[in-house]
Structures are given as structure tokens and as C-alpha cells.
Amino acid sequence: MMRRAFVLAAAAAALAGPAWAFAETYPERPIKIVVPFGPGGFTDVVARIIQKDLAPAIGAPVVIENRAGAGSTIGTDIVAKAKPDGYTLVMVSTTHVISPHLYKSVPYDPIRDFTPVMKIGEGPYVLVVHPSLGVNSVRELIALARSKPNTIDFASSGNGSSQHLVGALFATMAGAPINHVPYKGSNQAMQDVIAGVVKLSFVGMPNALANVSGGKLKALAVTSRKRAPDLPDVPTLDEAGVKGYEATIWLGLLGPVGMPSDVVQKINAAMTKVLS
């Protein structure tokens, strides 16, 4: 009986040994973070800001790989099917849980096929307009949209994207008929808004701050229930007259299902250090 118990214990130790050893030596090579959106968008900007400090914090190079398309499902699927060793991660946004409800078939389960590593943050979109539109408030924008239905274009990173849905929610709740113009990525959309080709968009805070401060765009409102600390003088949409409006974007870091818990803890600890 004792011999059988010893054999079982030894077998368990042998099975646990490699995982323990792996966690002790991780990371031994570069870590890849897939961004399932194009370069220059909100998720990509945040990923590249984190990349700089994460590498020394975790002790290995960190590589950002953009794999955009199909509402973020192409890049996300790559990670879902990757080896769960901690070397392939994905930075997801709100779109991660939206896309399965918009597409007829998604090649993964957004919950069961991933290991959660960390929620990175949550924040509002900013309703911005090009100065040539000639409006200085949300009320003026709504009035103009109602007087000229579907003539004001708003740009997003694509059909079914968070930007698209946030804009559509605004149009519905405000009774402001604006026209959606989808792009293949938020960077292209942003460039056309700055150029005045498209007059309006809902953009992430980093892109808003970079262009509002220089006068290239006007910030009319933020989409959160409370004002944003980075733009304290900009009202919420609720304050600006669209009562009950609230929409935010969150970012998270995921890995394939089955990642060793010690590896997850190491990445989480390094990310916490970077974000603190």
C-alpha cells in the first residue's frame, strides 16, 4: 500500500516537474503580443506604450504584431490556436465580446478558449469633430444633423467595431441622423478626420489628446458617465443633452486556454509594475 502511494506520488512529481521548471525559467525568448487591429489605433497605441516598459519588467523582448481584420477575430483566432506557453498573447478590447454577436461564425469561444491575464484599463471614447464642421457643442451637432439628415459622415475602424456601435448608439439616442463610413482600421479613419475628409468620429483618449491640444480637432463630449480627468472641461454626452448615454472601451490581455498559472502570475506581476 505504501509502495503504491509512493509510486503515485513520484509519478505526480514527475508530471509537475516540467511545468514548475518551465515557470522558473520563463521567459527564455521574445514574447509576442498580437494586436488584432491595424497600426495607429487605440489598442495598438496602448500596446506599444506598454511594450517599452514591459520588456525590462519581465526580462525578455516584447514584440507587437498587428493582425487586423474581421472585427478583430483574425488576430484573436491566431492566439486561440497558439501553444499555451506564455509566448503568444493578444491584447483585446470591447470588440472581443461584441464580434461573436455580429458575425455568423467565429472560430473560437471568447471565454472558454482563452486564459485571462489582466484587465489593462477602461476609459471613454471622445466625440471629436473637424473644425470645418462649424459646431462647438453636442447640441449644435444634433441640430445640424437633424437639419441635414445623413449628410454628416462619422468614421470608424470598420463595420461592427466599437467605434461604429458607439456612434450608432449616439445617433439613435440623440435622434441625430449621421452617416457611418467604415475604414479598415482606426488609423486610416483618424487620418481622414484630421484632414476633414470625414467630419466626425468617436476616438480613444490617446488619439483625442494628441489632436485636440493642437487644434486639429474639437472635443465635444466624452462617452463615459463621468468626465475624464485628462479632459476635465469636456462634458459627458449625458451632461450635453443625450440623457442616459454611457459607453466605454476596455482593454485586456489574454493568452490561449491552458496557460500555466505561474506563467500567468509572472506576466500579471510585470504588467502591474508597468501600469503602477
Rounded-to-integer distance, Cα 163 and Cα 53, Å: 28
Distance CA 38, CA 54 (A): 21
CATH number (domain holding residue 216) = 3.40.190.10
What is the mean pLDDT of the segment spanning 6-27? Answer: 53
Amino acid 105: pLDDT: 86
φ, ψ (nearest 5 deg) of residue 275: -85, -15
pLDDT tens digits, 163-203: 999 999 999 999 999 999 999 888 899 999 999 999 999 99
- pLDDT computed for residue 2 by the predictor: 37
The answer to whether residue 264 sits within a structural domain is yes
Residue 215 and residue 185 share a domain: yes
Domain membership flag for residue 8: no
- Does residue 18 belong to any structural domain of this protein? no
One domain, residues 245 and 127: yes
Q: Say whether both 231 and 187 belong to one domain.
A: yes
Nearest to 139 by CA among 246, 245, 216, 242: 242
Clarify whether residues 88 and 186 are in a common domain.
no
Q: What is the mean pLDDT of residues 21-45?
A: 87
State the average pLDDT over residues 3-23: 44
pTM assigned to the model:
0.80
For 226-241, what is each residue's pLDDT tens digit? 999 999 999 999 999 9
Residue 23 has a pLDDT of 61
Q: Does the pLDDT at position 1 exceed 50?
A: no
Amino acid identity for residue 198 in this structure: V
Q: Per-residue pLDDT for 209 more than 80? A: yes
Task: Give the per-residue pLDDT at 21.
Answer: 52
Residues 6+ apart with CB under 8 A from 38: 44, 66, 68, 157, 184, 185, 186, 187, 188
Per the prediction, the chain carries an average pLDDT of 90
Q: Which of 95, 61, 51 is nearest to 76 (CA)?
A: 95
Confirm whether 100 is domain-assigned. Answer: yes
Statement to judge: residues 143 and 189 lie in one domain: yes
Report how far apart, in Å, the C-alpha atoms of 196 and of each of 10, 199, 232 are.
Answer: 69, 6, 25
Give 14's pLDDT tier (boundaries 50, 70, 90).
very low
Q: Parallel, antiparallel, or unpaired: how do β-strands 88-93 and 31-35 relate? A: parallel
Can you give the CATH number for the domain in which 260 is found?
Answer: 3.40.190.150
Question: Measuring CA to CA, which residue among 52, 32, 31, 49 is closest to residue 40?
Answer: 49
